[in-house]
Amino acid sequence: METSIGIIGFGRMAKAIISPLLERGVYKSENVFGIVGSSSSIPCALRDLPKGVKVVSCEDTLSKEVWRAPLKLLAVKPQQFGKIRESNSSFQSTDKLPKPLLISVLAGITLKNLQNSFPGHTCVRAVPNTPSLVGEGLTGLAWGEGTTSAQKIVVRKIFEPISEIFDLPERQLDSFLALTSSGPAYIALVLEAMADGAVAAGLPRNLSNQLAHKTLSGTASLLRKKSLHPAELKDMVASPGGTTISALRHLELAGLRSALIEAVVLAAQKSRQLAEEVSN
C-alpha cells in the first residue's frame, strides 16, 4: 500500500494502531505524518517508531500536509474536537467520490458531528480499547454514509492486527465503549482491591500482585476456552458452606454487582453526553 496516512493526535492509542502496520509493511514510515498539540510532545510521539515517520506540532505550517493525506486517523481527546474542527476547516477536501477517508477513535463524537465538521471526507467511527496496545483488543466500527467496500477493507486492515472487530450500528457504540473501552479500568480496580485484600490477609505485596494478575488471566482463559457462562464458573468454585460462598455473600451485600452494572450504564451516558456537548 503506497498511500499516506495522516494522524491527528499521536498518543498511545494512535501509536498502538500505527506501529503494527509499520512493522508489517502495510505503510512505509515516510508515508506516515502526525500532528501533536505542542513541540514538547514530539519526542514521546516518535519514541519506538521507525526512522522516517514525521511528527510536527499543530502550530507548524507543515501540519497542513496531514490534511492532504487520503487517509486520516483522528485520535485527539474528545474535548479537543471543536478546536480541530475550527482550526482545520480550510483544509477539508472537496474531491469527488471516493472521498478521502477519516477514521475517528474519539469517544462520543458521532458520525453526524464528524460529517458536519469534515464534509469533504467519508467518516468512520472506531472504538478500540487499551488491550489493543498488546494486540489483544476489541474494536467496534460504525460506517459513515458513502463508505465504499474498498474503504471498509482499508479500515479493517488497520485494526485487525491489534484487535477483534465488531461491526455495529452507531447507536450501540456508546454501550460498546462503556463495556470494552472503560472496562479495563473497572477490572484494574477490582484486581488492585483483590491484591490489597491478600496483603491484608498476610501475603507479601509482590506475591499478591502476581497472584491477582494470574488469577484474572487464568479465569478469563477458562471462561473462553470452556465457553462457560460466568455463573457456571461461580457455581463450580462456590461449594456449600465454604470460603468462596461466604466471600460472595459479602460482595453481594456490599453491592459489587449493582455497582459494576451502574458503572457501565454511567459510562455509556457520559459518552452520549459528550456528543451532545459537541453538538451545542
**DSSP characters for the chain?**
----EEEES-SHHHHHHHHHHHHTTSS-GGGEEEEESSGGGHHHHHTTSPTT-EEEETTSGGGGGGGGSSEEEE-S-GGGHHHHHHHTGGG---PPSSPPEEEE--TT--HHHHHHH-TTSEEEEEEE-GGGGGT-EEEEEEEPTT--HHHHHHHHHHHTTTEEEEE--GGGHHHHIIIIISHHHHHHHHHHHHHHHHHHTT--HHHHHHHHHHHHHHHHHHHHHTT--HHHHHHHH--TTSHHHHHHHHHHHHTHHHHHHHHHHHHHHHHHHHHHHHH-
CATH number, span 181-270: 1.10.3730.10
Show me where the domains of the chain are located: 5-169, 181-270
Q: Give the pLDDT of the chain (280 residues) as one tens digit per residue.
A: 458 899 999 988 899 899 988 988 888 999 999 999 888 999 998 988 899 999 999 888 888 888 888 899 999 988 888 877 655 655 555 555 568 899 999 988 999 999 988 988 999 999 999 999 888 999 999 999 989 999 999 999 999 999 999 999 999 999 999 999 999 999 999 999 999 999 999 999 999 999 999 999 999 999 999 999 999 999 999 999 999 999 999 999 999 999 999 999 999 999 988 877 776 6
Write down the pTM of the prediction: 0.89
May I ask the CATH architecture of the domain 5-169?
Answer: 3-Layer(aba) Sandwich (3.40)
